[in-house]
């Protein structure tokens, strides 16, 4: 299978040669256009530079990615603004999960995926005042705190947390079951 990163780099080199402009200059052209949507930017690049659809689309997407904020700590992006107050609750729950053993944390756009051989949980803000914890575990005991999810989704159960007190023995047992089931 071809390396997509190498393919994009090659395509950018081709576009730079075709237009006579560097990637940075092309990104600046997009910024200076004032257009916010990728489709609008793509159309502008096709019209102004004579690029084909694929080249213009890839350039607009790469310029958007290059302009995106980069944080050393991915949780800064997830728990920013009005959701910043949820980060201590997130970190307290993660500390309890860490005690279960080794696993991988993968920050996504709006949540953190927790994996062993497979994902056992996901954790992220549900809203400004609540975290949502998704659990991959079969047949957990019924509880008013747990919401069973339809089959085929990312998690079999979800629940919401607002306070540190909700990180209790019942919740930790559910997490342990999901952790063990993930290998």
Tens digits of residue pLDDT in 111-149 = 999 999 999 999 999 999 999 999 998 888 889 999 988
Q: What number of other Cβ atoms are within 10 A of residue 57's Cβ?
A: 18
- pLDDT value at 3 more than 80: no
- What's the pLDDT band for 1 if we cut at 50, 70, 90? very low
Give 167's DSSP letter: S
Predicted model pTM:
0.62
pLDDT at 2: 65
Tallying the residues shown for the chain, one arrives at 183
Q: What is the pLDDT of residue 71?
A: 56
pLDDT tier for residue 164 given thresholds of 50, 70 and 90 = very high
- 71 burial level (CB within 10 Å; 0-12, 13-18, 19+): exposed
């Amino acid at each position: 299978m071809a390396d997509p990163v190498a393919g994009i780099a090659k395509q950018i080199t081709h576009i730079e040669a075709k237009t006579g402009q560097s990637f940075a200059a092309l990104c600046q052209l997009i910024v200076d256009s004032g257009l916010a949507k990728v489709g609008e930017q793509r159309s502008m690049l096709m019209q102004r530079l004579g690029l084909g659809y694929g080249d213009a689309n890839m350039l607009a997407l790469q310029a958007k990615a290059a302009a995106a904020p980069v944080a050393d700590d991915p949780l800064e992006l997830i728990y920013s603004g009005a959701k910043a107050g949820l980060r201590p609750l997130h970190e307290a729950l993660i500390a309890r999960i860490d005690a279960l053993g080794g696993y991988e944390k993968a920050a996504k756009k709006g949540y953190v995926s927790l994996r062993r051989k497979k994902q056992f949980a996901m954790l992220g803000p549900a809203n400004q005042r609540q975290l949502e914890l998704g659990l991959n575990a079969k047949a957990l005991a019924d509880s008013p705190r747990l919401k069973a999810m339809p089959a085929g989704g990312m998690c079999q159960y979800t629940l919401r947390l607002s306070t540190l007190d909700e990180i209790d023995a019942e919740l930790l047992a559910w997490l342990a079951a999901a952790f063990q089931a993930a290998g």
